Structure 1
């Protein structure tokens, strides 16, 4: 299967500290990929390197065989970071026009159609400072996909979206991948990652500790789902027994049932 985004031996050091250990990632055509990991695992750093915004200490990234440092490679990417501050003094329309100018393209009609789909077209004449968090996320998504890229790299793309918009974005991404393109999503939403992804990388402390189809990760962890597999494959320092003991200490419970049953409140906390 064709590799559209190819990272070989990428790493990042800050001074004497290795933030990201050397790793290889291959994002393939017609597939959805997920990058998972606890806070501080290196997901955002990895996305920065993959999109050419952050130069790696070692390694190389190519998009469809073109070095990521080349403008032609970056033109093939669409990137929507998580919570990137947007220029509040610009209107939504001015922000999208700025993206067009940076790419030396005119994708206004396509952007308008996407904004209509996501319900923000009527707000394009307003300053971004007046937008809600969800509206800003929708605008970021439109800016990432309006130029019809080959690969989409999205950091928590569903955060802040209303249910209708989230469903529309999911449908868009499914059609995008079905057309032979690629999606890479960094997320903490393990349920969505398990449902939507063909291939998963699990990062921990700057290293890939597991990768493969969701079913493979479940098998590695002897788990029923990714939510159960995640703590078993990452080094949080706590095993299941230790977690349960701490829950007993911090929660007002009289007994901790098995994982499929709710915890029981103490009589003092029970509402009559």
Structure 2
């Protein structure tokens, strides 16, 4: 079987610091996958290796059966990073034209249809520098999807989107996966991951600590009611969470005492003494 994404034993070190270790990920067509983990867990490093932006220290990555080191693999996937590295002097339309030229494709109707779906069609002739955060995110996602890739890899794609745009993106990604393509989303939104992802992989300290469907993982960890609780447990953050709750309870254990209406203020008392 040829997996849409097949990463095996991937690791990344910076000197003595290990950013990612023994990272393996096999993604099938027609599914939505979630990559979860605390800040610094290796999610972004993993995505950058999967998209060829970083070279792994060890391990291998195949995209649609093609090594990520081969240029032809680039036509198979679209990627929208978490940051917003867009050329602010270009208009949205010019950026999409540039994106398609880099991939040796003409700007087709898909980009225009996506812009219309995301409510960005009327703003394509504005400079990107005039775009809000949410508008830039929409443009990134349109670029990642518009060249008709087999796989789309998105890092925090819902961040900064208003509810209507977030709903539109969810519908688009659902339709994309149902057409036999693959979606990989890195996100901190555990509620969305539990609802929308067919499978999730959870990282902690650069290592995979859990992988499977949300339902199967919850069944394996009986007594944990939701993905948030599972996440806290497998990443080892549940103890810190309990200690934090205890500190907060102590911090706010006594209700604030409102100043007495009859008590003189410090300023008034000072003025009376003078």
Q: TM-score, length-normalised on structure 2?
A: 0.89
2:65 matched residue in structure 1: 65
1:123 matched residue in structure 2: 123
1:262 matched residue in structure 2: none
User: CA contact under 8 A between 1:80 and 1:140: conserved in structure 2?
Assistant: yes
Distance 1:192 1:241 in 2: 24
Say which SS state the counterpart of residue 60 (structure 2) adopts: strand
CA deviations 1:208-238 (Å, max 9, x no partner) are 0111110232234431001121111112372
1:227 matched residue in structure 2: 228
User: CA contact under 8 A between 1:2 and 1:29: conserved in structure 2?
Assistant: no
Say which SS state the counterpart of residue 33 (structure 1) adopts: strand
Q: TM-score, length-normalised on structure 1?
A: 0.90
Report the RMSD for the aligned CA atoms in angstroms. Answer: 1.6
CA deviation after TM superposition for structure 1 residue 25, in Å? 0.3
Say which SS state the counterpart of residue 184 (structure 1) adopts: strand
Say which SS state the counterpart of residue 257 (structure 2) adopts: helix
1:154 matched residue in structure 2: 154
CA deviations 1:165-220 (Å, max 9, x no partner) are 11111111111111111100000000000001111100001000111110232234
CA deviations 1:143-163 (Å, max 9, x no partner) are 000001100101111111111
Distance 1:159 1:240 in 2: 24
Unaligned runs of 5+ in 2: 259-274
Task: Determine whether 1:171 maps to 2:160.
Answer: no
2:198 matched residue in structure 1: 198
Name the stretch that deviates more: 182-191 or 209-218. Answer: 209-218
Task: Determine whether 1:32 maps to 2:32.
Answer: yes
User: CA contact under 8 A between 1:31 and 1:181: conserved in structure 2?
Assistant: yes
CA deviation after TM superposition for structure 1 residue 267, in Å? 5.4
Distance 1:98 1:131 in 2: 18
Distance 2:232 2:27 in 1: 25
Distance 1:239 1:138 in 2: 36
Distance 1:17 1:32 in 2: 31
CA deviations 1:15-47 (Å, max 9, x no partner) are 111111112100111111100000110100000
CA deviation after TM superposition for structure 1 residue 243, in Å? 3.3
User: CA contact under 8 A between 1:232 and 1:239: conserved in structure 2?
Assistant: no
Report the CA distance shift for 1:144/1:189 in structure 2 as closer, same or farther (over 3 A).
same
Unaligned runs of 5+ in 1: 255-265
Report the CA distance shift for 1:2/1:65 in structure 2 as closer, same or farther (over 3 A).
closer
CA deviation after TM superposition for structure 1 residue 2, in Å? 5.0
Distance 1:71 1:150 in 2: 15
Distance 1:204 1:241 in 2: 19
1:268 matched residue in structure 2: 257
Distance 1:209 1:194 in 2: 17
1:55 matched residue in structure 2: 55
User: CA contact under 8 A between 2:36 and 2:202: conserved in structure 1?
Assistant: yes
Rg: which structure is higher? 2
1:245 matched residue in structure 2: 246
Report the CA distance shift for 1:241/1:83 in structure 2 as closer, same or farther (over 3 A).
closer
